[in-house]
Amino acid sequence: MTQLARRIKTTDNGLTDLFAYASNPDLISFAGGYPNDQLFPKAELQAAFSDTLATGDATLFQYTSTSGLESLRTKFAKRAEQAGVQATAANVLLTQGAQQGIDLTAKLLLNPGDGMVVEGPTYLGALSAFDAYEPTYYEAPMEDDGLDVNELQKILMTHSVKFIYTIPDFQNPTGVTMSLEKRKALVRLANQYDVIILEDTPYRDLRFSGAALPAIKSFDTEGRVIMLGSCSKILSPSLRLGWLIADEKLLKPITALKLASDVQSSNLTMRAVDRYLTDNDLDQHIQAMNTAYATKKDAMMNAIKTYFPEKIHVVNPAGGFFIFIQNVGNLDMTQFLKQTMLAENIAYVPSEHLFPVSNTKNAARLNYTNLTEKTIQLGIQKLGGQLKQHLAQTNWSTDIQLESISTN
């Protein structure tokens, strides 16, 4: 039978087993990553769609431009100003979620074998997108204030690299926020070594405490930062709407790639989201959401303090969807999941496949957005109990870090 392209891997990412358990009603899953659907602005979105449809405008159902609805691009450009970014509609491409922005950027830059840097650990879905363009990965380790800039420089000094993928705010999976100094340092290094930065900000607005930092893009003087935004976590993932901000010289070929990939995004959806943003205060909605998520996050951190063995490294995130537990002795968290925790009806995302080079196994991602405080406490108690039991005989080295150091 016909050979598939080299990019098609027949091995899976180890999560298939996990999904088989997902339908178990007794399962407490910390493995998710969905927003809480009780927090969607359902009535307002419904009104936005209804009002848009009620215009009776036949062009709603017609093709539109590949760049996307101009008034909506203007709104996202204005929103970027809150992050210190100067942009106009001409710098914005509307995408099918930020995921398409990740895919298109890789498509823009990578020939097979080309070097790129990712944070270790990083977002699994981004690795899937990059994999299709067969890059050579280099991993810059995550520290508690963002990726290790010294290690990044070492990589850039010794290897040819096309771009760096980073999630600077409440990173998936670590929850870590990159410090101001590192944001500036990243742009300096990118300029020095002629590298593009792909700044992915799906969780940026989900801040529970402290003040927002300027986007990496705000320090970009050479048009080498591509910034991605997404409606999925702040509004609704069903809209499949994200945006990509870039200088026009990069945006033009990216837009041509979008045209070739799926022609354009939905005119009706773009019009409805534009209407929502005209009629509602998105930031007010986000604030209400953050209050609810912060309570869940606090419940998880408190349970971790109470029930976890002491020396596991945990950063208290100041926002986002995830808490990451690191340096869990020498425990292989994939095996621990399969052999121990699933039988206890507890699931999480083991770290192995989130580190594309080192495949670090003694860490895991925990999500709190869809669980009640009570369930979170119960699940963490069970997980902590098993961890204590399995770690009793092992040695480990780093300290627990329970206070947030990620707010600035």
Q: Is 17 helix (H, G, I), strand (E, B) or coil?
A: helix
Binding mask 154-183 for its own copies (x = CB under 8 A): --------xx--------------------
Judged by CB under 8 A, the chain residues 351 through 390 that form the site for its own copies are none
Would you give the end-to-end CA distance of the chain in angstroms? 55
| Residue 112 within binding range of its own copies, rule CB under 8 A | yes
Burial of 307: CB neighbours in 10 Å, binned 0-12, 13-18, 19+: middle
> Which of 308, 309, 33 lies closest to 173 in space, CA to CA?
33
Q: Least distance in Å: CB of 210 to its own copies?
A: 28
Separation between Cα atoms, residue 59 and residue 387, nearest integer Å: 58
**CA separation for the pair 168, 178 (Å, rounded):** 5
Element containing residue 377 per DSSP (H, E): helix 373-391
Instruction: Compute how many residues bind its own copies; rule: CB under 8 A.
Output: 74
Region near its own copies per CB under 8 A, out of 90-98, 279-287, 298-306, 324-332: 90-98
Q: Concatenated DSSP letters for 259-301?
A: HHHHS---HHHHHHHHHHHHHS-HHHHHHHHHHHHHHHHHHHH
Q: Quick one: which segment of 232-240, 322-330, 355-363, 398-406 binds its own copies (CB under 8 A)? A: 232-240
129 lies in the binding site for its own copies (CB under 8 A):
yes
Using the rule CB under 8 A, which residue among 84, 214, 253, 329 binds its own copies?
253
Binders of its own copies among residues 274 to 333 (CB under 8 A) are none
Q: Which of 264, 290, 351, 367: binder of its own copies (CB under 8 A)?
A: 264
75 near its own copies (CB under 8 A): no
Q: Please report whether residue 200 would count as binding its own copies according to CB under 8 A.
A: no
Q: Which is nearer to its own copies, 190 or 304 (CB)?
A: 190
Q: Is 257 in the site for its own copies (CB under 8 A)?
A: yes
Q: How far is the CB of 195 from its own copies (least distance, A)?
A: 7
237 scored as a contact of its own copies (CB under 8 A): yes
Q: Exactly one of 27, 49, 311, 407 binds its own copies (CB under 8 A); which one? A: 49
Stretch that binds its own copies, among 50-58, 175-183, 273-281, 337-345 (CB under 8 A): 50-58
Applying CB under 8 A, the span of 5-13, 81-89, 149-157, 199-207 interacting with its own copies comes to: 5-13
Candidates 21, 30, 76, 133; binder of its own copies (CB under 8 A) is: 133
**Nearest distance in Å: CB 169, its own copies:** 20
Q: Indicate whether 244 belongs to the interface with its own copies (CB under 8 A).
A: no
- Out of 177, 255, 267, 351, point to the residue binding its own copies (CB under 8 A): 267
Among the residue ranges 263-271, 304-312, 319-327, 390-398, the one whose residues contact its own copies (CB under 8 A): 263-271
Residue pair 152/117 in contact (Cβ under 8 Å)? The answer is yes
Stretch that binds its own copies, among 23-31, 35-43, 76-84, 298-306 (CB under 8 A): 35-43
Q: How far is the CB of 156 from its own copies (least distance, A)?
A: 12
Which residues are bridge partners to 373 per DSSP?
Answer: none
268 near its own copies, judged by CB under 8 A: yes
Three-class DSSP category at 5: coil
Asked if 136 and 115 count as a contact pair (C-beta separation under 8 A), the reply is yes
Peptide bond preceding 317: is omega within 30 degrees of 0, i.e. cis?
no
Least distance to its own copies from the beta carbon of 98, Å?
Answer: 9
C-alpha to C-alpha distance for 120 and 72, rounded to whole angstroms: 34
**Which of left, alpha, beta for 56 (phi over 0: left; psi -120 to 50: alpha)?**
left
* Candidate list 15, 27, 40, 282; residue touching its own copies; CB under 8 A: 40
Under the binding rule (CB under 8 A), the answer on residue 195 touching its own copies is yes
Please tell me whether residue 349 adopts helix, strand or coil conformation.
strand
Phi and psi torsions of 337, nearest 5°? -65, -50
Q: 331 by DSSP, 3-state: which?
A: coil
Contact 216, 187 (CB under 8 A): yes
> Could you give the CA distance from residue 156 to residue 142 in angstroms, rounded to a whole number?
16
CB of 288 to its own copies, least distance (A): 15
Q: How far is the CB of 221 from its own copies (least distance, A)?
A: 13
42 interacts with its own copies by CB under 8 A: yes
What order of strands is seen across the sheet that includes strand 115-120? 92-95, 242-245, 225-230, 196-200, 163-166, 115-120, 136-143, 146-147
